[in-house]
Structure 1
Amino acid sequence: MLDGICRSVRISVLHRCYYNRAAAIPRHAYLISAQWLINTSCLLLDIKHFEVDLANERVVIEGHAAPSKIAKALKSTGRTVILRGQGPATGASHGGAAVCIFDTFGDNPALPMPSNTNGLARFVQIDKETCLIDLTVQGLTPGKHGVHIHELGDISRGWMSAGDHFNPTNEDHGNHVGDLGNVEVGTDGWGDLVLESSRVRVSDVIGRSMVITEGEDPCSPLNSWQGGRGVLSGIIARSAGTFENMKKVCACSGKTLWEEARIQQDKKVSN
């Protein structure tokens, strides 16, 4: 388990409103502004290279920082940011990408999520031996919370219906493929966990579920459910790699990605 990323990852981000075609301000002024924003926002991140594409409202960033940290830094500028894809910086094809949105709280999906409580995990198969896992969570109690991939993709009863930890090699608890350790949440309710796994494969976990527990999981072989009850759960679904998703309109609603992003943000605020 690593605190940082030792492999270089390229991500493609939609970053809204760098350039207003109706305004009289020259395009190059927006380009300079965009470059300044990224340099300022990502000053403390390990960024190797970035490209700003005003025509497509896109920023391509290459570096060793986790995608969640880059997105958070860009959002701190007040812009709307949408992560569109991620993959190896070499441009070589990767073994897939996936995302898990933690949209179920406790064991009753019918109940609304508590205010300002949400989580997201991203998976990128960098190469055959390495899967990057980038998890962020907000709104949980301060302290450590266990993070696990579960064998089933059934969260009809939240964590209660997700099955056991994903354990295809029949190992003791603490050494399951699905045992990802703990995410530590600070006093501000924010926590993140970034690691590289040589055992998790994106192709093996798509369609399964993830659960974050109410307490710390010491990952010992004595009990498969250390960490207590699950508080957040979600389904792992396939997501796009770098430049694999070029759409700007959501087919399900007909709204632009910016409109959808604002709707989702409003839901978080109102919950």
Structure 2
Amino acid sequence: MTTAGKTPFKVEYAVEMTCNDCVEAVSNALAGIPGIDGFYVDLSEQRVVVEGTAPPSKVFQIIRNTGRKAVVRGQGTLKGKAGAAVCIFEGYTYTPASDDEPTPKRPPRGVARFIQIDEDICLIDVTVEGIPPGTHGIHIHETGDISDGVASTGDHYNPEGVAHGDLEQGHVGDLGNIIVDENGWGDLLVESRRIKVGDVIGRSMVITHDEDDLGQGSNEQSKIDGNSGRGALTGVIARSAGAFENSKKICACSGTTLWEDVRI
């Protein structure tokens, strides 16, 4: 994972807070953290905004460690560029990789959010539910054609024409692995200096059945897809609102709250 270095930025987090004790807990957790230049916590809007050079992934984890559910909501949109995108993993039938693979306890689904923090850093926040426990590879694929599920999404996004690997040196679309717990829940937060939101809109994301060996395997397949196996879930990456552009916490269609939908 890369860090933000000395580049200052502002990131907005939606945080489930119900009282002033929640505000105090989050504020105390963020106070005095190196790289955080300032922050404010808004109870009525359930919003936390942080400014500074601390990696957004670190800030996110600090907030979550207070026991509050949190979602990365946005950042200042770059002028003339798409600053945020979303990928919804749903509407695609999960197919077990083998007869002995456990049946998911609930319908598989998930969401990935892309946030262009600045010209150099893209924050990627992924949450999934309903797939078997274990370690699963996650990648951006070339096309956004999911008419035939994973089979029609093409190869990993690889504009540099390199071998498969990790977040730093592999395909641009190589995001590593997401770990799913025994209840079928998994989340991942990474920062990439190679991904640009504007370059991946319209492409797809795929979560695989097996673990990605990050190109470290001894066979040729390792240099293609990390031996991560067949795709399990997929979705199309679409443009979304940036920071402070969408404050909705309840879906008008289903009545589902942000916290029920994301379940972080």
TM-score by length of 1: 0.67
Quote the Cα distance in structure 2 between the aligned partners of 1:87 and 1:230. Answer: 31
2:260 is aligned with 1:265: yes
Unpaired runs of 5+ in structure 2?
A: 97-103
Post-superposition offset of 1:82: 6.4
Shift of the alpha carbon at 1:228? 0.8
Native 8 Å contact 1:173 1:222 kept in 2? no
Unaligned runs of 5+ in 1: 19-29
Give SS of 1:38's match. Answer: helix
1:173 matched to 2:164:
yes
Task: Count residues with an aligned counterpart.
Answer: 240
Write the letter of the residue equivalent to 1:261: T
CA separation of 1:159 and 1:107: change in aligned 2, threshold 3 A: farther
Decide which of 177, 193, 202 is 1:198's aligned counterpart. Answer: 193
**Is residue 2:228 matched to residue 1:227?**
yes
1:36 correspondence with 2:24:
yes
Matches of 1:266 and 1:177 in 2, distance apart?
Answer: 29
The alpha-carbon deviation at position 187 of structure 1 amounts to: 4.1
Assess if the C-alpha contact under 8 Å between 1:68 and 1:134 holds in 2. Answer: no
Q: Indicate which of 202, 205, 210 corresponds to 1:215.
A: 210
Distance 1:65 1:201 in 2: 16
Q: Report how far residue 127 of structure 1 moved.
A: 2.4
Write the deviation string for residues 133-168 of structure 1: whole angstroms up to 9, x where unpaired. Answer: 222333433332111101111222221121111122
Are the equivalent residues in 2 in contact too, given 1:122–1:133 (CA < 8 A)? yes
Aligned counterparts, 1:65-80, within 5 A: 65-66=56-57, 69=61, 76-77=67-68
Query: Shift of residue 245 of structure 1?
Result: 2.2
Does the Cα contact within 8 Å between 1:95 and 1:127 map onto a contact in 2? Answer: no
For 1:191, what is the secondary structure of its paired residue?
strand
**Are 2:245 and 1:240 aligned?**
no
1:196 Cα shift?
2.4
Q: Equivalents in 2 of 1:9, 1:116: separation in Å?
A: 37
Given the alignment, which residue of 87, 98, 102 partners 1:100? 87
Alpha-carbon offset, residue 128 of structure 1 = 2.3
The structure number with the bigger radius of gyration is 1
| In structure 2, C-alpha distance between the alignment counterparts of 1:236 and 1:72, rounded to whole Å | 26
For residue 172 of structure 1, give the secondary structure of its aligned residue in structure 2.
coil
Whether the 8 Å CA contact 2:11–2:117 is kept in 1: the answer is no
Are 1:145 and 2:136 counterparts?
A: yes
| Separation of aligned partners in 1, 2:34 and 2:183 | 24
Counterpart contact for 1:141–1:189, Cα < 8 Å: yes
Q: Contact conserved, 2:41 with 2:47, CA < 8 A, in 1?
A: yes
Mapped partners of 1:205, 1:92: distance in 2: 15
Partner of 2:179: 184
- Write the distance in 1 (CA, Å) between the matches of 2:117 and 2:230: 32
CA distance in 2, matches of 1:116, 1:150: 23
SS of residue in 2 equivalent to 1:204:
helix
CA RMSD between the two structures: 4.0
